[in-house]
Copies of this chain bind each other. A is one copy, B any other.
Amino acid sequence: MNQSSISDQEPVSMQGAYCPLPLPHHEQIVIGHGSGGKMTHDLVRTVFQGRLNNSFLDGNDGAVLPIQDPDHEIVVSVDAHVVSPLFFPGGDIGRLAISGTVNDIAVMGAIPKHIMAGFILEEGFRIETLIKIIDTMSATAQEAQVLVVAGDTKVVEKGKCDGIYITTSGVGVRKKELLIGGQYVKPGDAIILSGSIGDHGIAVLQARGELGFESQIVSDVAPLNDMIQKALDAGCMEGGNAIHAMRDPTRGGVATTLSEIAQQSHTGILLDEKTIPISESVQSICEMLGFDPLYVANEGKCLFFVDQRKCQNVLGILREDPHGNNAQIIGKVTAENPGMVLLKTILGSTRLLEMLSGELLPRIC
C-alpha cells in the first residue's frame, strides 16, 4: 500500500480550476476500499462525494427525491453485488441482489416497489447457472413484493469478471411526513437489533471452503421490507414515528454501521455486549478465526433507533416476525461521547468500537 505521495492538504486541479477537494490517502485501489469500513468511507468522501456534490448524497442508504405528488417522495438506492462464491448456504448472488436493494429502500422508511438490474457476465459463464440466479431473483422479488422493471446485460472476455456481477437499483415510495434517517437519531433512543449477528459473513466464508470444516451456519440474506413496515406501524405515535432511523448492518457489520450513525447524528452510542444476539456456532468460529462478530456482515438484519416510549411495542412486533424473533435491545443513544460507539463488555470493561479499518472478508456481498 502506498499511502504517502498524495496528501490530504494539497489542492487538486480539476478541469483547469483549483478546487480544495480532499484527496485520498492511496494511489491505487486496494481490497480494503471495498470493505464498507473506514477505507471505503475515505474513498467515498474524497473521490465521490466532493466531486458529485449534491444534497441528496447525505450519508443515508438511499436518496429521497421530490415528486409532484404532495404526500409522497421517491426513495432510490443502488448496490453492486460481487459476492464470491455465487452460491452459499442460505442464498446466492440473485437473492442478495434483490434483498440488498430492497432493504436499503426499506430502512429509509419507504415501501420498495421497483428494481432495475444491470448484469455483467463473463464469457463462458454457464447459462444454466445464470438461469438459476435469475430464478432466485424472481422468487426473492416475489417474496419482497417488488418488480424487476428494467435490466441491461453486458458481456466481458474470460478473465475480466468472476462469472457474474449484478448491480441493482431500487425505487420506493415514502410518505412525506416520515422523518427517518441517521440525522434524526436522538439521545435516549433505544437501539434494537432484529436478530443474531455474523451469519451471512461466516456462511460465505464456509462456502469458500476456508473454514477447513463443515458448519451448519446459513446466511440470513432476506428481504426485510415486510418486517420493517410492521415495525413502522408499531412505531406510530403522535408527532411522528418513534423509529428515528433504521439501517441494515451489511459490510463492516454492526460496529461500522453504528459508528456511521454516531457520526451522522453527533450522538454517542453505548452497547451492552451481553444483550447482542449471536449464535453459538458463529461465536465459536469467530473466536477460532480471531474475528470480532461485530464487524462481520449481515444481510437479513436491521438496526432500529427507537424513542424509548415505544421501544417495547416495536420489539414485540419484531419478535412476531420470522426474521425478527431474536430481536433484542442492544444499547442506547447518549448525549455523551458524540460520534463514538462504546461497548460495555461482558467482563465489565468499556471498549471503543471504531469503523472497520482495512478489509475483513472481501467480496462478502
CA gap between A130 and B52 in the complex, in Å: 13
A347 within 8 A of B: no
Where chain A touches its partner, the secondary structure class is mixed
- Nearest Cβ distance between residue A75 and chain B, in whole angstroms? 10
Name which residue of chain B comes closest to A32, CB basis: B155
Residue in B48, B56, B62 whose beta carbon sits within 8 Å of that of A153 in the complex: B48
Which one of A164-172, A208-216, A291-299, A301-309 is at the interface? A164-172
- Nearest Cβ distance between residue A64 and chain B, in whole angstroms? 9
Return the CB mask of A67-95 against B: 1 if under 8 Å, else 0: 11101101011111110000000000000
Residue in B47, B62, B79 whose beta carbon sits within 8 Å of that of A127 in the complex: B47
- Nearest Cβ distance between residue A98 and chain B, in whole angstroms? 10
| A150-B362 in contact (CB<8A) | no
A80/B29 contact (C-beta < 8 A), A63-B149, A171-B74 known: no
A323 within 8 A of B: no
Q: Which residues of B contact A43 (CB under 8 A)?
A: 127, 153
CA gap between A52 and B137 in the complex, in Å: 8
Q: Which residues of B contact A82 (CB under 8 A)?
A: 120, 154, 156, 160
A54 within 8 A of B: yes
Q: Which residues of B contact A141 (CB under 8 A)?
A: 52
Report 18 cross-chain contacts, Cβ distance below 8 Å, ordered by A residue: A15-B139, A29-B124, A29-B125, A29-B155, A43-B127, A48-B134, A51-B134, A51-B137, A52-B134, A52-B151, A57-B148, A67-B67, A67-B74, A120-B120, A120-B165, A152-B167, A154-B165, A156-B162
Which A residues are within 8 Å of any B CB, using their own CB? 6, 12, 14-15, 24, 26-34, 40, 43-44, 47-48, 51-54, 56-57, 62-63, 65, 67-69, 71-72, 74, 76-82, 113-114, 116-128, 130-131, 134-135, 137-139, 141, 147-157, 159-162, 165, 167, 169, 171, 173, 362-363, 365
